[in-house]
Structure 1
């Protein structure tokens, strides 16, 4: 049986091997998740130093330039990554594009505003109804944080003064702290009161750490109490 061999230019082989060693993204573009897919793909490509193909800064050298072959190989590799980060039906629409930047810009223009409102509304509704209930403190905090980060993708502001941006982020973090504390189970009322009485308030991560430690302490106390009760019961039975 004959074996098909694909030869890559020597300079492009490290790139192919490097890209093939890790998944592109778990958020494949389906028409409704552009922002999540955009962020995860951008991180992947920038992490491999090929963001110039998305911004257009990596210009194609003249055809007679020895570097043109390398550029073409890397451009095709990034194009392949972008198309593979889409569902099959959507990716088929981008197969005839010439450069990676065209695919990147076209996907943005086509899907960046489509259904964003409904997606934002769905996240807000989930946050509104979310309570700790059966979640551990860690799982509950991670769920909240993931939803908040998704909201951040929708809220892009350009601040004339960097200090205003820092102040706004501080206000948002304080709201997140109140939201986290207000959604905890009643069994954690004591630690919630202690945190709210702290001046100034700790950071969001600091608040989480305090609450998690309290949850761990309660679990240890419960195990110790149950163990003591079982020992006492065994002693009585022996008597």
Structure 2
């Protein structure tokens, strides 16, 4: 918050009031009323985060991991199956937080995660796609990607 004597204070005050209004109006009335007397948008944000955010995201992580554990292709096309997996993986990326000692740790971890995700993709494919799975396993470097389907002609397999 700038000092009241600073040249940008008036503009800051107007913008802060607008953001405070947005924050409070985006909440249910019962919740928003608790934040009406806060002085800045940052104060509202910090208090709401402290009150309503689970910094560990344990329950969210458990729900996504639980859904992934049992998830299989089933009646979905390979593309639908892959897209659904991708959404789950994006949720995991959002909820997982790590503190790295160095950037190499993050890069190594990312490689491990990608390999596990690829294996999850393979394990959930229907049995009639075993030949496709074998062709995928032969690709080097082995990666999950949107191009994977085009390279292997999976859409042709799905139509059969």
- The two structures have a TM-score, normalised by structure 2, of 0.84
Partner of 2:110: 169
Partner of 1:27: none
Mapped to 2, the partners of 1:92 and 1:137 lie a distance apart of 48
Deviations 1:140-195 (A, max 9, x none): 22221222222223321121111111011110011001101211122221111111
Mapped to 1, the partners of 2:24 and 2:80 lie a distance apart of 33
Determine whether 1:105 maps to 2:105: no
Task: Give the alignment of 1:74-223 within 5 angstroms.
Answer: 74-113=15-54, 116-201=57-142, 203-205=143-145, 208-211=146-149, 214-219=153-158, 222=160
Q: 1:78 to 1:139 in 2, by over 3 A?
A: farther
- Asked if structure 2 preserves the Cα contact closer than 8 Å seen for 1:76 and 1:99, the reply is yes
Partner of 1:72: 13
Q: 1:137 to 1:80 in 2, by over 3 A?
A: farther
- The two structures have a TM-score, normalised by structure 1, of 0.59
Q: 1:98 to 1:168 in 2, by over 3 A?
A: same
Q: 1:199 to 1:66 in 2, by over 3 A?
A: closer
Tell me the number of residue pairs that the alignment of Structure 1 and Structure 2 aligns: 159
Runs of 4+ deviating beyond 6 Å: none
Gaps of 5+ in 1: 1-58, 223-239
Gaps of 5+ in 2: none
CA-based RMSD: 2.3
